[in-house]
Amino acid sequence: MLKHVVVWKIKDPASKAQHAAIVKAQLESMRGRIPGLLAIESGIDIGYDPDAHDLVLYTEFTDRAALDGYQQHPLHLEVKKVIGPLLCARHAIDWEA
């Protein structure tokens, strides 16, 4: 199994709540629709740590090939078009579990 986590900041702080909700909904719309994507969860920061990022994506894949397929899957590419303009300061990590 491969795990993939991404965290972002919202680009426009004045629209943080609205944009975070859009991003979360878009990310979770991929659940059950991409081969090899076993689990997907998205969270919005609760504001406890002032230095924290705003959003997180947690995913689990069957293997590296599934992660590769996800990256090029048409649904994922469409989601990226919607959420990309709303986000900045992206950080990611992938590991085998």
DSSP for 53-94, written as a single string: -SEEEEEEESSHHHHHHHHH-HHHHHHHHHHGGGEEEEEEEE
What per-residue confidence (pLDDT) applies to 93?
Answer: 98
Q: How far apart are alpha carbons 38 and 33 in whole angstroms?
A: 10
In tens, the pLDDT along 26-36 reads 999 999 999 99
Are 57 and 42 a contacting pair, CB within 8 Å? yes
What per-residue confidence (pLDDT) applies to 94?
Answer: 98
Helix axes 64-72, 74-83, angle to 10 degrees: 60
User: pLDDT grade, residue 97 (50/70/90)?
Assistant: very high
What per-residue confidence (pLDDT) applies to 91?
Answer: 98
What per-residue confidence (pLDDT) applies to 39?
Answer: 98
Query: What are the structural domains of the chain?
Result: 2-96 (3.30.70.100)
Q: How far apart are alpha carbons 76 and 48 in whole angstroms?
A: 30
Are 55 and 10 a contacting pair, CB within 8 Å? yes
In tens, the pLDDT along 36-89 reads 999 999 999 999 999 999 999 999 999 999 999 999 999 999 999 999 999 999
